[in-house]
Amino acid sequence: MTSTLRRRWLLWSGVALLALALSLAWRVTRGYAQTAAAPPAAPALVKEDDDSTADHTKFEALQQDFQNATEVTQACLECHTEAAKQVMASTHWTWEFPGGETGETWGKRHVINNFCVAVTSNWPRCTSCHVGYGWKDDTFFDTATEAQVDCLVCHDTTGTYKKFPAGAGHPAYEPKEFPPGSGKIWEPPDLAYIAQNVGRPGNKNCGACHFYGGGGDGVKHGDMDSTLAAPPKEVDVHLSPEGAGLVCADCHKTHAHQVPGSRYAMTPKDTHGKDLPVADDNPTTCESCHGLAPMKNPKLNDHVDKVACQTCHIPAFARGDKPTKMWWDWSKAGDKTRGDHGVEKDENGWVIYDYKKGEFVWQKNVTPTYLWFNGQTTYMVEGEKIDPNGPVYINKPAGGPDDPNARIYPFKVFRGKQGYDPVNQVLLVPHLFPFNKEDTTAYWKGFDWGTAFEVGMKTAGLDYSGQYDWIETTMYWPITHMVAPAEQALQCGDCHQPQGRLAQVPGVYIPGQTGHPTIDAIGWTLSGLALLGVVVHAGLRVASRRKA
């Protein structure tokens, strides 16, 4: 070979090698081009409804003329001997939850919120969502029997079983009007028919209480309302019949009537991954089905150490048919002259004033607030001291950027104004719902806050100075339902920009958002000076050449 030929050969083989290397680099990085990668299919769930070995219509015990729902329970327990014991050990029954390191006992029985504030002294109304019958005062847990467990609220498949809103957990046994004066009649359900058609809980069973928390459809959570009974895929990919077609209990995988996935003990960062087919971890996490690296795009999977799945995949809450309540001002209650007999509606037909409850603000399609969250939330219990100067947080999610269990997580922030005792510095327990027909001390009967607080606090066994005032309080509601289709998830640029979604989240460097202001200032100044320098230099050269 001549030297020219050899050189040429070397040159072309070099070019070929370079092309090969570049194409390899392209292939390696090609994954980044894929947007909105579809997650790998979750393991198929067996629809067990069809698998039952029992036809409840054939059981003689259920072919009765039931006069009271407790009789149905007694019939159930003839075969399901352990069911009531299991339910009575669950949070659904006790409304109690151990408060972790605080040593307090949480659960609805003890905590305060800024919706209807407290269960104490308001039992018959609040306990219409208790999984039992007859919790009408604070003696209930001393006397309750297994027959008082409500099987039907969870296991009715007919959709006709309804607990009366002010019946302490019982359904109506004769036609009754609620709310009083509304003309809305609650018919007694056909208990035998319902008892013969029991099955596994569907979305409507859970939703009967959980969609209506806070006293109405969509009021409380923001990520749960009646839309979720059978939502369009855009609202919730999991529960939608057009989507995964799951029911609540597929994730809230219940064993012996203990339902996992409580808001009191969450797992925002599941490092265990898939729980199927063997559940040995919290089964309600995304990772339990989707695993630890669910996205095709490797760069997206790089985010899962610090960003919860919910943050990107639930771009907004209250995306169903209903708005959610964002503000509730009790201090404005009591004015029957406002609106139509004390009820005002906005242009959407949403009630923004109710003389019984005060002023509300509703929103749909709400952008969440993002916080570091490790799954622990501290809750305020009845009688806990507050700092009237501070923002009063009724609950507070824990976690920070250096917490290995924490991830950035979406929340609904709910604010309101409620009564407090400026002398004792505690939030007040209001007696809202009358104990009985003769009771006029309840606010919704006598409309006197002083009496309502006095009776509420006395019933709770707490000191009341006799003075009350109003104070703004804040509550955080974790957003985890209403997962949107992948193509509607947040895109890179939603966070990676100077005013990105996570701009308020401390302790995390986000390219495109966080920045390095000092280096930027120095860098742009020096680059500008360099540019100025060459322009001046060029000008001087032109000038000197002209002179020459």
* Binding site residues, other proteins, CB under 8 A: 11, 14-15, 17-18, 21-22, 24-26, 28-29, 32-33, 35, 299, 302, 305, 491-493, 496-498, 509, 511-516, 519-520, 522-524, 526-527, 530-531, 533-534, 537-538, 540-541, 543-545, 548
User: Would you say 98 or 512 has its CB closer to other proteins?
Assistant: 512
The first and second tokens of residue 424, run together, are: 């004792």
User: Would you say 2 or 436 has its CB closer to other proteins?
Assistant: 2
Peptide bond into 485 cis (omega under 30): no
CB 167 within 8 A of CB 177: no
Minimum Å gap between C-beta 290 and other proteins is 18
Minimum Å gap between C-beta 22 and other proteins is 5
CB 200 within 8 A of CB 155: yes
Distance (Å, rounded) from C-alpha 155 to C-alpha 176?
24
What is the CB neighbour count within 10 angstroms for residue 129? Answer: 19
Distance (Å, rounded) from C-alpha 387 to C-alpha 167?
37
Radius of gyration of the chain (CA): 30
Parallel, antiparallel, or unpaired for β 407-421 and 324-329?
A: parallel
Minimum Å gap between C-beta 315 and other proteins is 16
User: Would you say 279 or 530 has its CB closer to other proteins?
Assistant: 530
What is the DSSP-derived secondary structure letter of residue 111? B
The vertex-18 CA angle with 16 and 24, nearest 5°, equals 105
Minimum Å gap between C-beta 12 and other proteins is 10
User: Would you say 270 or 421 has its CB closer to other proteins?
Assistant: 270
User: Would you say 38 or 540 has its CB closer to other proteins?
Assistant: 540
Minimum Å gap between C-beta 273 and other proteins is 16
Minimum Å gap between C-beta 541 and other proteins is 6
CB within 8 Å of 95: residues ≥ 6 apart: 107, 108, 109, 119, 130
CB 451 within 8 A of CB 404: no
Minimum Å gap between C-beta 40 and other proteins is 20
| DSSP assignments along 160-212, one per residue | ---B-TTTTTPBPSS-EESSTTS--EEPPP-HHHHHTTB-S--HHHHHHHHTS
Peptide bond into 260 cis (omega under 30): no
| DSSP assignments along 363-422, one per residue | ESSBPPEEEEE-SBEEEPBTT-B--TTS-EESEEE---TT-TT-EEEEEEEEEEEEEEET
Minimum Å gap between C-beta 486 and other proteins is 14
| DSSP assignments along 351-363, one per residue | EEEETTTEEEEEE
Minimum Å gap between C-beta 500 and other proteins is 9
Which ranges constitute the DSSP H helices of 438-507?
443-446, 449-460, 492-495
User: Would you say 463 or 520 has its CB closer to other proteins?
Assistant: 520
Minimum Å gap between C-beta 517 and other proteins is 11
User: Would you say 249 or 508 has its CB closer to other proteins?
Assistant: 508
SS (H, E, C) 27-89: HHHHHHHCCCCCCCCCCCCCCHHHHCCCCHHHCHHHCCCCCCHHHHHHHHHHHCCCHHHHHHC
User: Would you say 180 or 528 has its CB closer to other proteins?
Assistant: 528
Minimum Å gap between C-beta 321 and other proteins is 32
User: Would you say 276 or 536 has its CB closer to other proteins?
Assistant: 536
Q: In the chain, count of helices (H) and strands (E)? A: 17, 15
User: Would you say 423 or 543 has its CB closer to other proteins?
Assistant: 543
Name the nearest CA neighbour of 254 among 279, 225, 286. Answer: 279
Q: For residue 363, which amino acid is it?
A: Q
Minimum Å gap between C-beta 350 and other proteins is 36
Minimum Å gap between C-beta 24 and other proteins is 8
> Which residues on adjacent β-strands are paired with residue 495?
none
